[in-house]
Structure 1
Amino acid sequence: MRILIKILIGLSLIVLSNLIMAEQCSKSCQLDQVKAYFSALDKVAKKGSLPSDIDTLLELTHDDVKYIHVEYQANFTKDTWRKAFLRNLKLGRYQNTDKNQIRILNSIAGKNHLAVEYSHGLIQENGEWEKTDKYLAIFGFTDGKLSLIKELW
């Protein structure tokens, strides 16, 4: 009977540790998610983008995501952020081409957060990417998904 109890306790600990690990997102997982976010954001910002591109971007985020832009005093939930994207799309504000691209320059991982230095840039005729201004954003992760995007520029 004692052996059975020890086995059950051991199995319970394994299951619990796997559940905890499933909710965590390692540094490489975080970086991959931010890269996917920027790639989807590039697609939204292109001329001719569609509402489905916005939905694809937002699918990368947690249901309780917050988008905060300190300078512009933006504080969006997933729903209000989607409405803002759709409004900009309707107004024709997305005019980028395939040559526009956001790239990560540096990152620092913290507990469930990633600080990211990034830049918008243009791919030149010679194929080289030329960055413009540098920006800083903090990305938070909950249940392995993006739950906070805080722009600090």
Structure 2
Amino acid sequence: MLDAIPNTQLWERGPKIVAIGGGTGLSTMLRGLKKYTKNLTAVVTVADDGGGSGMLRRDIGMPPPGDIRHCMESLANTEPIMQRLLTYRFSEGVLAGQSFGNLILAALNGVTGSFEEAVRQMSQVLAITGQVIPVTSADVQLEAVFENGTQVVGE
């Protein structure tokens, strides 16, 4: 790949890129792309139902924040301590396994009244490069039906 764009003016006029997906792959790719252009849009899946995201999804009724949070972390322009806070996972108690970044999104979801607005507000707080958009606000679940008729719902 080319070297990072050397000056701010070229970076601001860089290519317009829309990345669609979720999980570790999308956030890793965004971390690299932000060196080349500020014109990034990540459309992120919200079907996760495991771990801390799944717990918030079930308990609060919000879309799972994990993949969204990972993308925002990758695009964030913050102090190192904020990066460490976002990725911090509680190790004990009722919050064991939960990410502090997920909890911030959950709190913003409650304060703003919508997940989309929570994502917009957190994007501003983190001064992210580009934008992160949830693919939907609907409560979606992955579902597979196998050739033998067996059905599996969830991740």
Q: TM-score range by the shorter chain?
A: under 0.3
Higher helix share goes to which structure?
Answer: 2
Using the size of structure 2 for normalisation, the TM-score is: 0.27
TM-score, with structure 1 as normaliser: 0.27
Q: Which structure has the greater CA radius of gyration?
A: 1
